[in-house]
């Protein structure tokens, strides 16, 4: 996801668990949260369906070939389920969607899920590598900056995170392309592989990595900015705790205190934040993928929007909402599992 | 952040009146709350720098055109040297592919970008305040309904929905772009204000106002809302920056402000095709966006520290 700075501000308060005494077992908590999520997702899907269908130039008027005969047109409308009134269409769509059938893409005529499946690996590659890369850097930067406040690392972190939240992702992408591809010729400007070559397996792998570096860096800057700052603030809290002093007094080495006592506690809230961010994978990184011609789900979304491929748009909107909600729940559960002080309310 | 941390270490009285002991008694005067906040803000140099830059930027965009008398839309394709020119004395920011002066366009585009950012923030904060206040004050089913609506908007990744809405409904006029962006910028404000209201409505001063007969409307907007002003102001400042980014993204992808109206985002979109020939077309509006948003962020963080010195380092 190329999330807007709004998310960055709110990360600090993403913790919907209320610490209230009457303790509920985790099973009941999970069930209740799932029951709450169902109407939410229904609402989202109704909202999205209505939006797509009320749009000027909605699927009803989609540019079927103007030379089609009236009979052929009617046949097309039946095929894409456009002959019913909109509420009935919604119910039919919902019934099919629940069984994993999101209809057919207008442009390729393939089942929507097949199209999404073709695009998913590329997004997973980009997202996964960016998350890992960002996690390593964010932990390094955040921990050092939290322990050594006002050090060079701390100031570097502040600068990087201000850059990260103040610059639109597409600018990072454009500047990156210009510097590393156009000016220096170090990295390929776009694409996922070199086109027109047949490479040996190892060379193909190197080629893939080569293409991955630039989009991955661009995507990870935002994550690094958000996570490292978050980790820094939890680290500052943890370092002040009494058990840190106790551990040091017992004679644990500084590194041991840091790794065994401080990190373990400071990383807990980060796990939830990372989980939340991973939930946006279904939406893909629309901006990054489009600019780097990365054939993932984000680019698919952009292309479908340009082509008015409504079944794909609808499926992606609802699926991404589903992922966001699901990972929200997962983050809350993980938080409770990792930190036993949290009570489920 | 530096100063405010020192403040939180010092004792409370000293924090309010740092030089009380050194001031002779006759001159001693207690500063007002606003004055204290202002003084605290002024001691934060990065935030003041951000604010100063914004003032310069507003002068650049809104007063600049009266000094730099070049029409941003004058096309000049007759002389090859006048198109895609590098920065020079006649064209300090260079020219684009059809010979339009980039300095004049940066001013005109800046007006659009800033106005879109500010107005969409105002509308967004307005909606957010209303929804958050109603939900937090009344609770019960009103709260439930309003918060579920908020959840629905928050559940779909922002840019996906923004792109769809803009592609469907936007006619490329700045007004439409403002409305579309505002429609997505109320959610965090609503949650924030609801939280403030939940906490504040139980306080004694609200009960006191209620006992002397203040009605709900008065309670909400005259008594509770001013006490929640701090977080709202901070959120509003940061939201302007976020909305300027959103606008530039939309415009870059062709869903935002459309020609003949220009914003910094549309300038980048035009310049993108000539990036390898003339990178200035992208660099200059890009840096302007970056510096503007950075200034809003620095100022917002400074305001946060000034309004709530005990919440620093967050």
**Closest to B164 (Cα-Cα) out of A49, A86, A101:** A49
For residue A12, what pLDDT is reported?
Answer: 38
What ipTM is given for this predicted complex?
A: 0.78
Residue B237: its chain A contacts at CB < 8 A? Answer: none
By Cβ distance, the residue of A56, A175, A233 closest to B168 is A56
**CB-count burial class (<10 Å; 0-12, 13-18, 19+) for A67:** exposed
pLDDT value for B80:
62
Q: Nearest Cβ partner of B164 from A166, A236, A305?
A: A305
State the pLDDT at residue B16: 57
Q: Which two tokens stand for residue A84?
A: 């019913």
User: Which pLDDT score is estimated for B47?
Assistant: 84
- A3 contacts in B (CB within 8 Å)? 157-158
CA separation (Å) from A160 to A1, A138, A157, B67, B237?
19, 11, 5, 36, 20
**CB B134, CB B146: distance < 8 Å:** yes
Interchain CB distance below 8 Å, A43 and B152:
yes
Q: Which two tokens stand for residue B50?
A: 């951000």
Output the pLDDT for position A221.
Answer: 86
Q: How close B178 comes to chain A (CA, Å)?
A: 16
Note if the bond before B260 is cis, omega within 30 degrees.
Answer: yes
What are the chain B neighbours of A51 within 8 Å (beta carbons)?
A: 164-165, 168
Residue closest to A33 by CA, chosen among B143, B195, B151:
B151
Decide: A288 and A81 in contact? Cβ < 8 Å: no
* pLDDT bracket for residue A284 (50, 70, 90): low
Check CB contact under 8 Å for A43 and B241: no
Q: How far is A99 from chain B (nearest CA, A)?
A: 21
Largest CA distance in chain A: 86
**pLDDT score, position B126:** 92
- For residue A280, the chain B residue with the least C-alpha distance is B157
Nearest by CB to residue A287, choosing from B152, B159, B161, is B159
Structure confidence at residue B206 (pLDDT):
86
| Residues of chain B with confidence (pLDDT) below 70 | 1-30, 75-85, 89, 97-99, 309-314
Q: State residue A11's pLDDT score.
A: 37
**Residue B256 tokens, joined:** 């935002």
Note the pLDDT of residue B18: 61
Residue A319: pLDDT band with limits 50, 70, 90: confident
**Segment A122-149 mean pLDDT:** 86
Return the SS3 of B101.
strand
Rounded Cα–Cα distance for residues A33 and A344 (Å): 11
What is the share, in percent, of chain A residues with pLDDT greater than 90? 1
User: What pLDDT, on the 0 to 100 scale, is given for residue B23?
Assistant: 63
> A230-234, A328-332, A341-345: which range is least confident on average?
A341-345
| CA gap A217, B217 in Å, rounded | 50
Location of structure tokens 């909605």: A58
Neighbours of B39 (CB within 10 A): 12
Q: Tokens in use for B270? A: 């035009």
| Radius of gyration of chain A measured on its C-alpha atoms | 24
Q: Would you give the end-to-end CA distance of chain B in angstroms? A: 10
Task: Give the C-alpha separation, A82 to A14, whole Å.
Answer: 41
Q: Measured over all CA atoms, what is the biggest interatomic distance in chain B, rounded to whole angstroms?
A: 77
| Chain A residues with beta carbon closer than 8 angstroms to that of B163 | 286, 301-302, 305
According to DSSP, residue B23 is labeled: S
- As a whole number, mean pLDDT of residues A47-60 equals 73
Say if residue A4's pLDDT is above 60. no
Least confident of A21-35, A212-226, B72-86: B72-86
Instruction: Transcribe A66-121 into DSSP letters.
Output: TT--HHHHHHHHHHTT-SS-HHHHHHHHHHHHHTT---B-TTT-SBHHHHHHHHHH
For A146, nearest residue in chain B (alpha carbons) = B313
Contact B188 A10 (CB under 8 A): yes
How far does Cα B171 stand from its chain's mean position? 24
Residue to mutate among A171, A190, A290, A310, with most B CBs inside 10 A, is: A171
Taking CA–CA distances from A53, the nearest residue in chain B reads B168
Cα–Cα distances (Å) from A329 to A16, A31, A271, A324, A332, in that order, read 10, 11, 13, 9, 5
How many angstroms separate the CA of residue B39 from the nearest CA in chain A?
23
The alpha carbon of residue B200 is apart from the nearest alpha carbon of chain A, in Å, by 18
């000293």: which residue's tokens?
B14
Residue-wise pLDDT for A57-67, tens only, equals: 656 555 555 66
Contact B155 A41 (CB under 8 A): yes
Q: Which of A2, A3, A4 to mutate to test the interface with B (most CBs of B within 10 A)?
A: A4
> Does A44 sit within 8 Å of B157, measured CB to CB?
no
Question: What is the nearest CA distance from A200 to chain B, expressed in angstroms?
Answer: 32
Nearest chain B CA: its distance from A189 CA (Å): 12
Contacting residues for A252 by C-beta, under 8 A, at least 6 apart: A260, A261
Residue, of A310 and B86, whose pLDDT is higher: A310
Task: Say if residues B248 and B240 touch (Cβ distance below 8 Å).
Answer: no
Q: What is the pLDDT of residues B85-137, one digit of tens each?
A: 677 767 777 777 666 777 888 888 888 889 999 999 999 999 999 998 898 88
Lowest mean per-residue pLDDT among A3-12, A24-33, A242-251, A304-313: A3-12
Q: Do B161 and A1 touch (CB under 8 A)?
A: no
Torsion of CA B28, B30, B32, B38, to 10 degrees: 60
* Residue B294: other Cβ atoms inside 10 A: 20
DSSP run (H or E) holding A188: none
Q: Which of A281, A298, A291 is nearest to A191 (CA)?
A: A291
CA angle A308, A283, B240 (to 5 degrees): 95
């Amino acid at each position: 996801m190329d999330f807007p700075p709004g998310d960055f501000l709110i990360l600090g308060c993403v913790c919907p668990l209320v610490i209230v005494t009457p303790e509920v077992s985790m099973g009941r908590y999970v069930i209740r949260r799932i029951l709450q999520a169902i109407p939410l997702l229904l609402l989202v899907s109704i909202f999205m369906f209505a939006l797509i269908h009320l749009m000027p130039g909605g699927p009803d008027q989609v540019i079927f070939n103007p030379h089609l005969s009236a009979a052929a047109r009617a046949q097309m409308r039946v095929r894409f389920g456009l002959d019913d009134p909109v509420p009935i269409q919604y119910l039919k769509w919902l019934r099919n969607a629940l069984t994993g059938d999101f209809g057919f893409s207008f442009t390729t005529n393939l089942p929507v899920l097949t199209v999404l499946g073709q695009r998913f690996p590329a997004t997973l590659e980009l997202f996964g590598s960016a998350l890992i890369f960002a996690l390593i850097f964010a932990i390094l930067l955040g921990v050092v900056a939290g322990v050594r406040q006002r050090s060079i690392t701390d100031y570097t972190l502040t600068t990087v995170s201000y850059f990260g939240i103040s610059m639109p992702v597409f600018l990072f992408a454009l500047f990156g392309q210009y510097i590393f591809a156009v000016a220096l010729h170090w990295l390929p400007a776009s694409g996922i592989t070199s086109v027109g070559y047949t490479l040996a397996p190892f060379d193909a792998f190197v080629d893939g990595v080569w293409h991955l570096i630039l989009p991955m860096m661009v995507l990870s800057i935002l994550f690094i900015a958000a996570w490292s700052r978050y980790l820094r603030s939890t680290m500052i809290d943890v370092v002040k705790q009494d058990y840190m002093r106790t551990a040091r007094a017992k004679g644990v080495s500084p590194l041991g205190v840091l790794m065994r006592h401080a990190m373990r506690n400071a990383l807990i809230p980060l796990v939830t934040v990372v989980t939340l961010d991973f939930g946006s994978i279904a939406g893909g990184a629309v901006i990054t993928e489009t600019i780097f011609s990365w054939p993932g789900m984000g680019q698919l979304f952009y292309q479908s929007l340009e082509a008015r491929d409504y079944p794909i748009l609808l499926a992606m909107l609802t699926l991404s909402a589903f992922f966001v909600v699901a990972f929200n729940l997962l983050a809350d559960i993980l938080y409770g599992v990792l930190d036993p002080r949290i009570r489920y309310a | 952040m530096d100063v405010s941390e020192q403040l939180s270490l010092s004792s409370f009285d000293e924090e309010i009146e740092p030089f009380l002991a050194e001031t002779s008694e006759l001159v001693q005067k207690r500063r007002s709350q606003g004055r204290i906040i202002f003084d605290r803000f002024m001691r934060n140099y990065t935030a003041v720098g951000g604010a100063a830059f914004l003032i310069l930027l507003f002068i650049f965009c809104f007063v600049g055109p009266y000094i730099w008398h070049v029409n941003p839309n004058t096309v000049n394709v007759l002389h090859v040297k006048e198109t895609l020119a590098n920065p020079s004395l006649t064209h300090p920011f260079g020219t684009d592919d059809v010979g339009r002066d980039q300095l004049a366009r940066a001013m005109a585009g800046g007006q659009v970008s800033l106005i879109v950012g500010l107005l969409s923030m105002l509308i967004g904060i307005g909606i957010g305040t209303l929804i958050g206040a109603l939900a937090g004050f009344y609770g019960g089913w009103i709260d439930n309904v309003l918060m579920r609506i908020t959840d629905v908007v928050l559940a779909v990744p922002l840019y996906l929905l923004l792109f769809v809405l803009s592609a469907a409904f936007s006619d490329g006029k700045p007004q439409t772009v403002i409305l579309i962006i505002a429609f997505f910028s109320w959610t965090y404000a609503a949650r924030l204000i609801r939280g403030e209201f939940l906490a504040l409505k139980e306080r004694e001063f609200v009960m006191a106002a209620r006992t002397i007969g203040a009605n709900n409307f008065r309670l909400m907007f005259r008594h509770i809302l001013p006490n929640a002003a701090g977080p709202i102001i901070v959120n509003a400042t940061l939201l302007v920056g976020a909305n300027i980014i959103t606008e530039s993204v939309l415009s870059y992808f062709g869903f935002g402000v459309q020609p003949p109206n220009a914003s910094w985002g549309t300038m980048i979109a035009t310049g993108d095709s000539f990036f390898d020939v003339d990178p200035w077309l992208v660099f200059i509006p890009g840096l302007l966006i970056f510096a503007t948003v950075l200034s809003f962020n620095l100022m917002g963080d400074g305001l946060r520290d000034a309004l709530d010195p005990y919440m620093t380092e967050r």
